[in-house]
Every structure is written in structure tokens, then in C-alpha cells.
Amino acid sequence: MSHLYITDNGSILGVDGGRYVIRQKDQLIRSIPRESIESVSIFGNSTITTPCMQQLLTSGTAVCFFSSKGRYYGRLHSVTGDKIELLKQQFAVLDDPAFSVAVSAKIAAAKIHNQQVVLKRYVGRDEDWYLRELSIIRQMEKKVMNAVSAAEIMGYEGMAAKLYFRVLGEIVRPEFRFYGRNRRPPKDAFNSMLSLGYTLLLYEIMAKLETQRLSPYCGVLHTDRDGSPSLCSDLMEEWRSVIVDSAVMAMVQGNEISPDDFVSDENAAGIYLSNGALRRFINKLERKLNQKNKYLDYENREYSFRQAIHLQCGKFAEAITKKDPAVYHPVRIR
């Protein structure tokens, strides 16, 4: 299955028989079989024809809209798959402190573990400054597993994340050096890529949750707020460093991107990828999502990261229906 990204302003996505077609100024740019498209992401000022929109809704294809800088606007959503009884069960189970704390601790601990693995791939293990930071990060992982509340878990996870990004900021190429995580808007090139990658990953997970008939807005770790997909944020934690951070580091350390690929927006007071660099970044992230691995112990088979995310959402749904946090095992990379 293909994931279609439209990044050129003025593009028109339509349908012609059994194919989706992309046109610009009445010129055909691309034609794709309808059955091969799993999701569509549209950046900037492009449009979808009404017949095409109807076809996408009927087929249940996920469609998301972003600004040219990657800010999320919204998505097309068909109501045909909603199951109210499962949603009631989700709200009841996730409101149980024992269930939510148990699952949250596992997710946060896996996130901190995965961050350590990513760091080890790039830092010399005999460097004293790094070993000191790593020791504290390990302590935070242990504290998370013994936490008794979501607030306590978030506190330890936040400390680990602060140290993790401090180390990343030190080891990247000098021209991409940054000083901690910043967002809304991103103040440097590295954080700009992280923010875009996390946004795309978040709504990738949202589409997978909706196939499980779960609400993305009722979670366990992040605070529920109107309009905020807290469950997506929860389930994204174990994947952040594994997928997005790894892809960004590979581009930066592999000289696949340069500071010249970014533009400054005075109105938004942020740093953003240029249109050409946006396409390269999306291609890099897509390759990462489609990369095969054996991190999930399901039938001793290899799965792409995208497939693994889908399976993990299914496992979370199973944990809810069985009311058993032991059913869910966050991914821990090696």
C-alpha cells in the first residue's frame, strides 16, 4: 500500500475511473490505482475534488491536511466505523488509575530505554560526560517503573527527555547544534525536523487507532484536553526516538541535509524546511516506516515499523477489552 504526500501548491487531487490523479494547471502529474492508496497527506494550498473526496471517505482512506510548514489542520473522517460500546469500554478502563498507571509506566520506561539505545549508536561509550548523563537517564527509567501516579511518571520521563536531548544537541554536526527541545514554533533546524516528524507520526498512529475503533482523544499518560489526541501521544512515546529521531540523525550525520535547506519565517518566528527539503525528509521518514525489523515478538516474523505500529494499536485495544495492562508490551529496541 502507498502513502501519498502532496507538497506542491496548486495541485488538484481527483479521481478518474479506478485511479486517483494529481493535476497542476490542467496537466496530469501522476496517476495511481485507487486500491493502492492507504493514506493521503496534503501540504499547503492544494485541493481535492468532491467526487474524489467522496471516494476517499467511502473507502476509509485516511486524509490529513497540513500547512506548508507542517502544521496540522484536520482530516477527513468517515463515521461508518464508530462503535459506541467499545468507546464506552475504553473510557471506563482508561479511567481506572490502576490500569492507566501500569500501562503508562511501561510505555514511559520503554521510551527511555529506546532513547538510550539511540544515543549509544552515536556516542563513544568511554566519554565521561556522556556516561554521567546516561547514568541519570537509567535512574529515571528505574524510577518510572516504581512510580505510583501519572504525574510522577511524567516527571521522571520529562527529566530523562531533557538529558536525552541535551546529549543529542552535543553530538550532532556543529552546524545543526541545538540546546534542548523547542517547538511551536521550532527555533532551529534540528527541532524543525523533529516537530514535523512527530506530527506526521502522531497522525499515522491516529489512523491506526481509528481502524481499531478506539477514540484517539482518551488516553492514559497525557492529560485529556479538548482537541488533543492524548492516546495518540501516549502510543507515540515508544516510537519517537526509534523512528523520528533516528531518521533525523541519519539525515544530519549522513550529510543528507544542510542548513541551507531551511527557511526562516518572520511572521511565525520559526525555522522550517524548504519545499524541496520537505520532500526529501518525507521520503526519509517513509523509508524508515517501511523498514523491516523483528522488534515485535509476533510469530517470529519481520514487520515494517508501520505494520508494527498497527499491531501495537491492536494490542492496546486488546488490553482494553480484557481490562488487563499486562497484555500490552511496548516496543524496546536493541
The confidence band for 134, taking pLDDT boundaries of 50, 70 and 90, is: confident
Q: Using one digit for the tens of pLDDT, what is the confidence trace for 147-205?
A: 999 889 999 999 999 999 999 998 899 999 999 888 888 999 999 999 999 999 998 99
- The pLDDT assigned to 62 comes to 86
Q: Which amino acid is at 154?
A: M
Task: List, as one string, the DSSP characters of 158-216.
Answer: HHHHHHHHHHHHHHS-GGG---S---SS--SHHHHHHHHHHHHHHHHHHHHHHHTT--T
What is the distance between the alpha carbons of residues 214 and 222, in angstroms, rounded to a whole number? Answer: 16
- The pLDDT assigned to 117 comes to 92
Percent of the chain with pLDDT over 90: 57
Residue 64 has pLDDT above 80, yes or no: yes
Buried b (16+ CB within 10 A) or exposed e, 255-271: eebeeebbeeeeeeebb
Per-residue pLDDT, averaged over 131-158, amounts to: 92
Could you tell me the pTM of the whole model? 0.89
- The pLDDT assigned to 69 comes to 84
| Least confident span in 64-73, 100-109, 207-216, 219-228 | 219-228
- The pLDDT assigned to 177 comes to 94
In angstroms, the Cα distances linking 174 to 28, 170, 196, 259 are 43, 8, 21, 11
- Take residue 151 and report the three cell numbers written for it: 504525574
The confidence band for 243, taking pLDDT boundaries of 50, 70 and 90, is: very high
Closest CA to 163 of 189, 141, 136, 183: 136
Residue 334: Cβ within 10 Å count: 8
Closest CA to 330 of 121, 114, 91: 114
What is the distance between the alpha carbons of residues 100 and 150, in angstroms, rounded to a whole number? Answer: 8
Residue 221 has pLDDT above 90, yes or no: no
Q: Using one digit for the tens of pLDDT, what is the confidence trace for 103-123?
A: 999 999 999 999 999 998 887
